[in-house]
Amino acid sequence: MGKQRNRRRETPAPTPFEQARDELFQHIMRCGVIQAVPEHQEEWFNDTMPYLQDRYPELTDAELTELRTLGSRFCRPPKAKSESEAAEPADAVSAA
């Protein structure tokens, strides 16, 4: 038996869509869009999406629409558990 070499697993390069998504999320965090009122968020997205379209010309219109949807979801506050979910013990939920 020979020595096993530690081989690096090469990770595939991110797609343009993944790069644009990550950049959009970074801009959202940096610009404080999450704390903005919905009207200002909408205005921010209206200004930012053309920038991303210019920066990533290989993205299709469908991908740009999906990016905007993902960004909008990213800006929403997390959903709170409903009272019925909070009242049930975890064991009862997992047993069902």
Do 60 and 71 touch, CB atoms closer than 8 A?
A: no
27 domain-assigned: yes
Count of structural domains within the chain: 1
Q: Which amino acid is at 20?
A: A
pLDDT (tens digit per residue) in 44-65: 999 999 999 999 999 999 999 9
> Which residues have a Cβ under 8 Å from the Cβ of 45 and sit 6 or more positions away?
68, 71, 72
Residue 80 lies in a domain: no
What dihedral angle (degrees, nearest 10) is formed by the CA atoms of 65, 71, 77, 79?
Answer: 50
Residue 78 — very low, low, confident or very high, per pLDDT cuts 50/70/90? confident
Task: Give me the domain span that covers residue 56.
Answer: 16-75
Please write the tens of the pLDDT for every residue from 1-51.
Answer: 566 677 777 888 999 999 999 999 999 999 999 888 999 999 999 999 999
Q: Is residue 60 included in any domain, yes or no?
A: yes
Q: Interhelix angle for 16-31 vs 38-55, to 10°?
A: 140
Cβ neighbors of 33 (< 8 A, separation 6 or more) are 27, 40, 41, 44, 75
Question: Does pLDDT of 79 surpass 60?
Answer: yes
Q: Which residue has the tokens 């379209």?
A: 53
